Amino acid sequence: MEFEKNVKIRREKFGTVIFQTLCEKVFVTNQTGSAILQMIEEEKDLDNIVAELAQNFESDFEIVAKDVTEFIMELKENQIIRGVAE
Amino acid sequence: MIENELRYSPQNKPLAGYDFTSYNAPLFIAWQLNSACNLDCLHCCEEAGEPLPNELTKEEIDTFCQEIVQLQIPYVAISGGEPLLHPDFFAICEFFRSHGISLKAETNGHLIDRQVAKQMAKLGFRSIQISVDGATAQTFEKMRGHGNLQKTLQACQYLTEAGVNTEIVFVPTKFNIHETSRLIDMAYQMGIYGFYTGKIMQVGRAAQNWEILCPSPQDYQKFFVTLEEKAALYDGQMKIYYYPYDVIEELKYRLESPAASLLIIPNGKAKLIGPLPFVCGDLRQHSLAEIWSRYQKAWRHPEVVTFTNNVITNNDLLKEANHWRELSLA
Ligand SMILES: C[S@@+](CC[C@H](N)C(=O)[O-])C[C@H]1O[C@@H](n2cnc3c(N)ncnc32)[C@H](O)[C@@H]1O
């Protein structure tokens, strides 16, 4: 997974702001969203991201997997990232 | 600019950070680089033509550009006047691109030849926006004094051939609005990426020439139907963006929800928004970070709130837009 061209991200107090400058749309995430974006930047894949988050939050793996997958699909639909394995 | 939100919250906590005051810095800089222009448009909201007597110097421009990078501002739009007349236009663009900032430039295209288009392609602009206010020489040249439609379309060709993401901006008026459909088809045939339009603003020279420019409500009704049809026709092939609101509706919205952006005019002053006369800072006196915090205060300043509410009920006050008023923001 990688960020689309023309996508800019910036850390903020509340989390992260994502600016898809090609469609001129702004998105915001909370701190958990920031952590995921950071892992995407570090070129981690979906399985790694889920495993790391489940461990950090001491949450149920299944629930984290579902949430993270939804978030990543949303990033893809909004042309923020590409190269998501189907 | 449309704002969306994307959530990630395992505990379904409400999201923070949507309001403009929660951003560390602006998300967008609209920069009118100069006031000089080679055309004399009937509708020019900036009343461009001659340079301002005190435009930013090369050194001041350099400092400003560095501040944009330091504040991690992701997106800059350069306009004018005619920005390609500015001697430092390319140096500025190169600087921003070398720091990974998304960049667009708004131009009338008259100075874009094959060589310039290639230079632009190398820089990887988010887009070059060319103003094309008509599909025939007759209407285009009526609207854009000293303008030449052929040259403008040629510029679009050079840009698309060079692989530049090219967009067209069309301002509808009483005498060119019936050419909308034809111009959109021409844009598609030229390989244009996006077609931008919306209602003409009653600001600057457009306010002075309002009688000859302002389309009728019926014209606008047809116009928006055309845009909807063309957007469906070219879906997935060419983007058609149109903003259905006029400047008064925009001001109502912005008073509630100001944009996370700054508008810098050629003398380094920061305006709150194009159609209002208020200036909230000056690059010669304030750092960009200070201007951002002054901007946030300015939108809540009683003078701004009262004046904006007055504009909303009395459009005539839009004539004040280019008579800058400094705000005292202790
Ligand atoms: C002020 S021009 C400056 C850049 C360049 N000289 C050009 O002509 O594109 C930027 C854009 O604002 C548009 N514009 C100017 N006056 C306007 C008005 N009264 N209402 C809406 N758009 C306007 C122009 O048509 C152009 O697309």
Indicate which atom in ligand 1 lies nearest the CA of residue B205.
19
Residue A49 has pLDDT above 90, yes or no: yes
Taking CA atoms only, the protein residue closest to ligand 1 atom 6 is B82
pTM for the full predicted model? 0.94
Taking CA atoms only, the protein residue closest to ligand 1 atom 8 is B108
Among B22, B27, B74, the residue with its CB nearest the CB of A13 is B22
B77, B123, B164 from B118: Cα distances, Å: 20, 9, 8
pLDDT of residue B5: 39
pLDDT of residue B19: 82
Among A21, A28, A64, the residue with its CB nearest the CB of B17 is A28
- Nearest of B312, B272, B266 to residue B292 by alpha carbon: B272
In chain B, residues 20-79 whose CB comes closer than 8 Å to chain A: 22-25, 27-28, 72, 74-75
Residue B13 has pLDDT above 70, yes or no: no
Among B1, B8, B23, the residue with its CB nearest the CB of A33 is B8
B131 alpha carbon to ligand 1 midpoint, in Å? 7
Looking only at the bridges linking them, the beta strands covering B269-271 and A7-12 are unpaired
Q: B119-172 pLDDT, tens per residue? A: 999 999 999 999 999 999 999 999 999 999 999 999 999 999 999 999 999 999
Give the count of Cβ contacts less than 8 A between chain A and B: 96
B225 alpha carbon to ligand 1 midpoint, in Å? 23
pLDDT band at B327 (very low <50, low <70, confident <90, very high): very high
ipTM: 0.92
pLDDT of residue B15: 36
More confident position, B279 or B14: B279
Residue B1 has pLDDT above 80, yes or no: no
Region A5-19 average pLDDT:
93
Taking CA atoms only, the protein residue closest to ligand 1 atom 3 is B80
Residue A61 has pLDDT above 90, yes or no: no
> B23 near B74, Cβ under 8 Å?
no
Q: Which residues contact A35 (CB under 8 A, 6 or more apart)?
A: A53, A56
Residue B98 has pLDDT above 50, yes or no: yes
For residue B224, the distance in angstroms to the closest alpha carbon of chain A comes to 20
For residue B78, the distance in angstroms to the closest alpha carbon of chain A comes to 14
Among A8, A12, A36, the residue with its CB nearest the CB of B17 is A12
3-state secondary structure of B258: coil
Region B277-304 average pLDDT:
97
- Domains and their CATH numbers in chain A: 2-81 (1.10.10)
Residue A58 has pLDDT above 80, yes or no: no
Give the domain ranges of chain B: 24-326
pLDDT band at A64 (very low <50, low <70, confident <90, very high): confident
Q: B19-55 pLDDT, tens per residue? A: 889 899 999 999 999 999 999 999 999 999 999 999 9
pLDDT of residue A55: 86
Q: Which residues contact B224 (CB under 8 A, 6 or more apart)?
A: B242, B244
> B10 near A67, Cβ under 8 Å?
yes
pLDDT band at B18 (very low <50, low <70, confident <90, very high): low
B204 alpha carbon to ligand 1 midpoint, in Å? 11
pLDDT of residue B263: 97
- The rounded distance, in Å, linking the Cα atoms of B198 and B175 is 15
Angular region, B226: left φ>0, alpha ψ -120 to 50, beta rest: alpha
pLDDT band at B320 (very low <50, low <70, confident <90, very high): very high
Q: B253-262 pLDDT, tens per residue? A: 999 989 999 9
Q: B57-75 pLDDT, tens per residue? A: 999 999 999 999 999 999 9
Between chains, do B10 and A32 touch, taking CB under 8 Å as contact?
A: yes
Q: Is A6 on the interface with B (CB under 8 A)?
A: yes
Domain B24-326 has CATH 3.40.50.10860: no
Residues of B with CB below 8 A from A71's CB? 6-8
Region A6-14 average pLDDT:
94
Indicate which atom in ligand 1 lies nearest the CA of residue B213.
19
pLDDT of residue B302: 97
- The rounded distance, in Å, linking the Cα atoms of A16 and B237 is 31
